[in-house]
Every structure is written in C-alpha cells, then in structure tokens.
C-alpha cells in the first residue's frame, strides 16, 4: 500500500477543481509537504491563503505544463527544497470541445502539450529519484475519452488515448524491473467541475461529483490499484469494443447510450476554450 502520511506530494493543475481537492485530502491525511503547480498565479495564491486559514502550509509554483523549460525550472526548485517527490499526481489538463476542422493549430499544440507532453516531461523529472529510493507513485489522470471515440472531442480524446498507453506501459516497466514505483491510471467520465460545462452525460453514466472521484483516486493510490475507471459503465467499454463489430459498437455507444451527442452543447470554462497563455493570465489579473 502507498502511504500518504509523511510523504511529499506534487499535484499539477492543483489550484482548483480536482487538483485542489486532491491537495486537501492529502493534507487531511498528514502529508508532510504538498506542492501545487498551476498556470494561474491568482488561483494559486487564493488556494494557498485558503489552506493557510485551515492551518495547512503548501508550496506553490506558477508552471505552464506545456512548457518544458517551466517544468525543468520548477522541478529543479522542488528538488532543491524537498529532495524528492514521493507521489506525483499528473492532474493538469484542458479540453477543446468542437469539430476537428474548427480547431486551430494552437488548440492542437496546447492540448497535446498540456495533456500529453507535459505529463511525460513532469514524470521524467521526478522518476529517477523515485527509482533511486526504490519507492514512489505516479498517478496519471486520463479520461474515459481515452477508451471511446467521440465527436467534438477528437484532439482531447487523442491526448487521453496517448496518456493511457504511455501510463500503462510505464507501469509494466516499473513492475518488470521490480522498482518499487507504482503507476495508477485514472479514467473517469465527465466530472462536474466546470471543465465540461454543457455536456450531456451518456445514459447510465452520471456526471461525477468531484469529491466522489477524488475519494476514489485516493483509495486507488493507497491500494496501489493499476487502473481506476468510474462510473461502472466506463468499465464495460473495453468489453463491448472487444465483442461487438465496430458498426454495432458505434450504434450502441452513439444511438443507445448517447455518447456521440454528449458534447453537442459543450461550453466548458471560457479560459480553457481559449487555451490561455501564462502571460495572458497574468495580464488579466
């Protein structure tokens, strides 16, 4: 089992939403240090102040996960101050929900940069130290979108398919070499955080409450679970894809369960749809 108590924990995209809730739960479990990375400096400051009022001391760093330079600089600072990160939550992510032909090249670059490259680069910065101490846990927040094709989220789905493939391959490497490092891949459906504002959840797949999925993630980490899929219907996707002909699966997923129309009224957070730069965020403060 992975212990959270007395461990150093880093959470990307930690200033709000799932990342902030993960931080709160880890602090309740007596993590000795929680470090939050986020592109939004104002939200980081607000979260740090809010936690301080509860008696919790956290470290915060303004980091654009799409920037390798930012990742390397912030990682160097973390190592200098705390030696090593014991548990890494790769939580930062964005979604651009619209037909592929309406994407800009910048939409694609930012989505892949944050959702894929940033996840891998961040893990690579801290994995060697985990290997040296023969202990550590990397938690990669992917998505059920990485299991099933869906109109109006092609680039997002592609990014999550990539994360799932990389994350589970990394897990096998860690297990095959008996490294002591655990890898958990999280694949939730739509979560009610504002990131997916306007979505219509498929049949039998309710909009997940943030605290519910955070509790499940913490439980999965503590039990060294390989994969977390929520809700129950998400677990059926690989089975149905394996036994049904493709057109039949498309019919079941699209027509019967409504997956293919779930993003038709998508709004999301305005800042995420615009895919902001760190500089733009600072200028709006």
Q: Which residues are catalytic?
A: 156
Q: Is 109 left (phi over 0), alpha (psi -120 to 50) or beta?
A: alpha
Token pair for 19: 């990342």
204 vs 240: CA distance, rounded Å? 15
Classified as helix, coil or strand, 78 is helix
Beta carbons of 87 and 137 less than 8 angstroms apart: yes
Strands (E), 150-217: 181-188
Contacts 24+ apart (CB under 8 A), 240-245: 241/147, 241/148
CA torsion through residues 69, 71, 76, 78, sign? positive
202 vs 120: CA distance, rounded Å? 30
Beta carbons of 15 and 24 less than 8 angstroms apart: no
CA-to-CA separations, 29 to 6, 22, 23, 24, 82, in angstroms, rounded: 9, 11, 10, 9, 19
Neighbours of 81 (CB within 10 A): 11
Beta carbons of 76 and 128 less than 8 angstroms apart: no
Q: List Cβ neighbours of 77 (8 Å cut-off, separation of 6 or more).
A: 61
């Amino acid at each position: 089992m992975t212990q959270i108590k007395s461990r150093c924990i880093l959470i990307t995209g930690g200033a709000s939403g799932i990342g902030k809730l993960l931080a709160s739960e880890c602090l309740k479990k007596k993590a000795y240090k929680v470090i939050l990375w986020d592109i939004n400096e104002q939200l980081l400051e607000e979260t740090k102040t809010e936690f301080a009022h509860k008696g919790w001391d956290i470290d915060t760093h303004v980091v654009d996960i799409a920037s390798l330079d930012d990742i390397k600089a912030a990682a160097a600072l973390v190592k200098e101050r705390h030696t090593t990160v014991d548990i890494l939550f790769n939580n930062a992510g964005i979604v651009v929900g619209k037909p592929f032909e309406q994407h800009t090249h910048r939409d694609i670059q930012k989505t892949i940069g944050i959702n894929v490259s940033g996840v891998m680069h961040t893990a690579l910065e801290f994995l060697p130290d985990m290997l040296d101490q023969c202990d550590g846990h990397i938690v990669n927040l992917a998505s059920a979108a990485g299991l099933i094709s869906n109109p109006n989220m092609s680039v997002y789905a592609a990014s999550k398919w990539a994360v799932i493939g990389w994350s589970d391959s990394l897990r096998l490497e860690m297990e095959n070499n008996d490294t002591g490092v655990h890898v958990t891949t999280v694949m939730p459906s739509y979560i009610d955080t504002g990131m997916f504002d306007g979505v219509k959840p498929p049949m039998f797949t309710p909009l997940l409450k943030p605290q519910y999925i955070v509790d499940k993630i913490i439980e999965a980490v503590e039990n060294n679970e390989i994969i977390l899929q929520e809700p129950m219907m998400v677990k059926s996707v690989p089975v149905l894809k394996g036994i049904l002909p493709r057109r039949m699966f498309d019919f079941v997923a699209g027509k019967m369960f409504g997956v293919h129309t779930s993003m038709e009224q998508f709004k999301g957070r305005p800042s995420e749809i615009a895919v902001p730069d760190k500089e733009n965020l600072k200028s709006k403060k």
